[in-house]
Amino acid sequence: MKAFDLLIRSFCRAGQDSVVICPPTFGFYRVAAEVQGAGVIEVPLIRSNNGFALDAEQVLAACSDKVKLVFLCSPGNPPGNALDVEAMLSLCKQLNGRALVVVDEAYIEFTGRPSFTTVLAQHPNLVILRTLSKAYALAGARCGTTIADADIIGVLARVLPPYAIPTSTVEMVLKATATEQRARIAEQIQTLIAERGKLSAQLKQSKLIRHVFPSDANFILVECLDADIVFNAAKSVGLVVRDQRKQPQCANCLRISVGTPEQNARLLQGIAAAENNLKVSA
């Protein structure tokens, strides 16, 4: 079962309790809350050219006694940047005894930052979500983990069905996380981070792109002059980028995954060709 589902089912009473989410963010938090009949309170991230920042004060203000869970995605999907550590920690502290702070670290491996697991001991209301779907490229295994105080895990364990993890998944995961594999993954992550820097710098040069947001993830959020043009430019070279225009504060935004050096070069060629076409037709 998905960790968000499990948390919401375990801590939110249908029709009574709520969760706080900070859009633009991962769509599944809302879906899981709505399926459970929990309320969803939105406290938008604050957008600037330096990325999207947590509005800790407003989150705190939104946390009535009906709010049981606060979902923070860091690095954010789709924003790409990691949230301010002090703001997150202060929120944990102030919500202790009131609500759980769920930090979704799906992309933590791409940040160079330590996981929040390192501060778990000081924050009994902190819940950390990790997954093998991204850095380990193991989305097919459907395997992630919830790390929290033993009392929280105890509650979740009573809701989680027995035999929750198939043997085939266990085998796949053990193989993928063996020592030699970890070294290879660490290397891949370093390559990706280097490519991310190069790709960001090159995207900034394009006249079709108005802003490149800073990224701590394996993708880059860009604001285009016209998202359709860049989307189709990627498509014309056989690459798919993610349309984020439905996300709040993300008008004309696309999420571009950092690919292999070859894919990134191909994307930039596609964008350059689209730029030239525009010049010719202008």
Ligand X SMILES: *Cc1c(COP(=O)(O)O)cnc(C)c1O
Please say which residue, 104 or 109, places its beta carbon nearer to ligand X. 104
Place of tokens 């509650």: 155
Whole-angstrom distance, CA of residue 25 vs CA of residue 8: 17
Whole-angstrom distance, CA of residue 199 vs CA of residue 260: 11
Facing residues of 148 across strands?
127
| Binding of residue 165 to ligand X (CB under 6 A) | no
| Binding of residue 173 to ligand X (CB under 6 A) | no
Subset of 75-94 contacting ligand X (CB under 6 A): 77
Q: Can you tell me which of 1, 14, 137, 139 binds ligand X, judged by CB under 6 A?
A: 139
* Nearest of 258, 223, 264, 262 to residue 75 by alpha carbon: 258
* Nearest of 100, 98, 83 to residue 217 by alpha carbon: 83
Interface pattern 21-40 for ligand X (x via CB under 6 A) = -----x--------------
Binding segment (CB under 6 A) for ligand X, from list 130-138, 157-165, 224-232, 236-244 = 130-138
Whole-angstrom distance, CA of residue 18 vs CA of residue 42: 10
| Contact by Cβ (8 Å): 63, 85 | no
Q: Can you tell me which of 8, 69, 106, 233 binds ligand X, judged by CB under 6 A?
A: 106
| Binding of residue 242 to ligand X (CB under 6 A) | no
Whole-angstrom distance, CA of residue 132 vs CA of residue 141: 8
Q: How many residues bind ligand X (CB under 6 A)?
A: 11
Please say which residue, 142 or 266, places its beta carbon nearer to ligand X. 142
To the nearest whole angstrom, how small is the minimum distance from the Cβ of residue 6 to ligand X?
12
| Binding of residue 225 to ligand X (CB under 6 A) | no
To the nearest whole angstrom, how small is the minimum distance from the Cβ of residue 60 to ligand X?
22
Q: What's the number of CA atoms in the CB half-sphere (13 Å) around residue 59?
A: 31
Q: Applying CB under 6 A, which residues contact ligand X?
A: 2, 26, 73, 77, 104, 106, 131, 133-134, 139, 144
